[in-house]
A and B are shown apart, each in its own frame.
Chain A
């Protein structure tokens, strides 16, 4: 679960991690007032969307307006806010459709001596958290990894004890920080690692992490996401969720216990099991089609779930045909066919439906499909299914 920058910074501040002073704004007036309240010569006005690349991003309605701007007066801040609020910011990460900006975050300007990169993730190999630092602040870490991997420091740390002070000091010296900044890092780095652990984060990224001319480390940006499976430990995070930032069909699917990801193609698919669902997408592509979605209906596949799954798939206007691929194991094929037929009637199909079943009681299930009198296409195996569903598009 992702949260906004301003929310992340509030949590970081509570955890003792240094962030700039900032004020959350919903209107141009708020922004002008915030500028005055911060009492600085300049302030930064930042669009609050979950995607990155905001500084380089531009608004669809105001093509010259950047997603993050530096303002030198309250009036300038207000003028920018008027062009940002309610408009659609398109960045490298939002895709062409962009994201509507409803909230701005106004922060004090800082005297920056140096920009660093900081990231914390869980490393699969060491099966523990790892702190990633680089002297190349402000750049995408993937680019740094490609061009100058020697500039990236990886420091695994204990999930029980956090980052030790000596580790923080060692890393600070490796980054070439001066004495004052090393002292600041000895506080900042363990604090943010503790924050990561205490809040069950799946990712925390501070890019850039700035060193001010006074030698203080401050989180200039903050990107934080939480482990969805651990939200039961943090009931207060639920109110941080911004449903405007999530794909509505993916929310609907999650509520029905389905795992759904919308894609760009036109062949919808309904499959049981994540691995088989991914393989089915690949199979469609291999035979010249384009999958419209990933959908794992789970092991149970009862009538309600299958009905909801069909509704979600068909709600996508791009979908011109649907492929059902089920391997019935413990859940027998004939039971699944009952659910399929019942859901088929409830939903009302307007596009071709190809069904491929295999596994327990498959013969009985195929007879049921044939006897149903419904306008669906039965496939004998995986390849046959893919060919048939792609052929319906060309018919």
Chain B
């Protein structure tokens, strides 16, 4: 079992005709076919307005998401559309009835995301991201830019605000023989579609997940809210790591959402809240994998 992705998932890519869109669509196709043994096509097409009717490396291109859904039965999308147009692309996908929208694009204006998130909230769609690496269920499929082969099928649910930090954690889990049920990057922006609590709930309800690893960072209070949720609702073992103990206040640390403002959003507050909720918090980023093991042995 897993969350978000299963064998019924059929993916399109909005912005497939761009360099990054094509490269990662090919990677997602290859991962599904070569490492997950899927016989039918996982990536069923791409959407780029004005290029409908063409074919790029075997991917049929459509002008609109609606058309792509009608012709391919797609139920998931991966978005690489440039920032000025990406908010609109997210809404188009929701309008077309796409169930899972994964937005990879970094640098979307906040006002556009306020609009897009509010739009998606009134539909049945789920938005993951933006500014995220995507979602992978090892052995089933991946939607995003993460290196597929470092993941292994298993029972640890992984959720994180950061990309490479997630790869690091997955690598560490692999080194101690632990695989993942699903790994989700929720994104480094201040306004995102899916937060820690949504995924904690899904992992708690997923029979294929035995333990959860969450990676947070400075900025906002999503980790504190997650801690409160864990305390009340999560019975599975949870381990965590929080990046940015040494980050100075008032400075944006790469991610648009990673900023300590007005004295709140510090790593120390988040760590304290998680520890209070009984979460095994790794002190060092070298210790994320083993923290999961310790949480399971508690």
Contacts and interface: CB of A to CB of B under 8 A. Distances in A.
A122 B109 contact: no
B253 A294 contact: yes
Contact of A329 (B110, B147, B262): B147
Contact of B145 (A124, A277, A330): A330
Nearest to A282: B245
B255 A229 contact: no
Nearest to B248: A263
A283 B162 contact: no
Interface string B42-75: 0000000000000000000000000000000000
B163 interface: yes
A382 B286 contact: yes
A207 interface: no
A52 B192 CA distance: 30
Contacts of B115: 159-160
A129 B118 CA distance: 12
Contacts of A215: none
Interface string A158-199: 011000000000000000000000000000000000000100
A261 to B, nearest CB: 5
Contacts of B160: 275
Nearest to B146: A329
Most chain A CB within 10 A, of B108, B168, B171, B215, is at B168
B12 to A, nearest CB: 21
B220 to A, nearest CB: 5
Contact of B162 (A160, A259, A274): A274
Most chain A CB within 10 A, of B165, B171, B243, B246, is at B246
B208 interface: no
Interface in A316-339: 327, 329-330
B78 interface: no
Interface in B210-229: 215, 217-218, 220-222, 225
Contacts of A272: 164
A252 B197 CA distance: 38
Contacts of B149: 360
A382 B284 contact: yes
A381 interface: yes
Contact of A129 (B114, B248, B256, B262): B114
B190 A124 contact: yes
A227 B110 contact: yes
Interface string B107-142: 111111111011000000000000000000000000
A60 interface: no
Given A124-B190, A381-B286, A274 B254 contact: yes
Contacts of A261: 248, 251-253
Contacts of B252: 261
A202 B243 CA distance: 24
B96 interface: no
Contacts of A352: none
Contacts of B84: 232
B182 interface: no
Interface in B274-298: 283-286
Contacts of B80: none
Interface in B230-274: 241, 243-248, 251-258, 262-263, 267
Interface string B164-196: 111110010000000000000000101100000
A227 B163 CA distance: 23
Nearest to A264: B248
A127 interface: yes
Contacts of B145: 299, 330
A259 B287 CA distance: 26
A296 interface: yes
A282 B164 contact: no
B1 interface: no
A122 B190 contact: yes
A248 B8 CA distance: 52
Most chain A CB within 10 A, of B253, B256, B257, B283, is at B253
A159 B114 contact: yes
Given A122-B114, A285-B246, A278 B218 contact: yes
B255 A275 contact: yes
Contacts of B146: 329
A128 interface: yes
A227 B150 contact: no
Contacts of B217: 274-275, 278
B190 to A, nearest CB: 5
B11 to A, nearest CB: 18
Given A128-B118, A263-B248, A296-B254, A282 B285 contact: yes
Given A127-B114, A159-B111, A358-B171, A273 B163 contact: yes
Contacts of B113: 127
A197 B243 CA distance: 31
B10 interface: no
A330 B164 CA distance: 11
A124 B190 CA distance: 6
A116 to B, nearest CB: 18
A279 B165 contact: yes
B27 interface: yes
Contact of A276 (B109, B110, B165, B220): B165
Given A329-B146, A329-B147, 20 more contacts: A124-B220, A124-B222, A125-B225, A200-B110, A229-B109, A233-B109, A261-B251, A274-B255, A274-B258, A275-B166, A277-B254, A278-B218, A279-B241, A280-B285, A282-B245, A282-B284, A296-B254, A327-B171, A381-B286, A382-B286
23 contacts: A124-B191, A145-B262, A200-B109, A202-B110, A229-B83, A261-B253, A263-B246, A273-B165, A274-B217, A275-B254, A278-B247, A279-B165, A279-B168, A282-B244, A282-B267, A282-B285, A294-B247, A294-B253, A299-B145, A327-B168, A330-B27, A358-B168, A382-B284
Interface of B: 27, 83-84, 107-115, 117-118, 145-147, 149-150, 160-168, 171, 188, 190-191, 215, 217-218, 220-222, 225, 241, 243-248, 251-258, 262-263, 267, 283-286
Q: Which 4 A-B pairs have the closest CB atoms?
A: A275-B162, A274-B254, A273-B164, A275-B165
